[in-house]
Structure 1
Amino acid sequence: MDKDIRCESYLWVQGIQTSTEDLTPTQREALAIWLKKEYLNELCRGKYAFTPREQEENMK
Structure 2
Amino acid sequence: LILRIILLKLILRIILLKLILRIINDPLKLILRIILLKLILRIILLKLILRIIMIR
Name the TM-score class by shorter chain: 0.3 to 0.5
Say which structure is richer in helix: 2
Question: Which is higher, the Rg of structure 1 or of structure 2?
Answer: 2
Question: TM-score, structure 2 length as denominator?
Answer: 0.40
Q: Which has the higher strand share?
A: 1
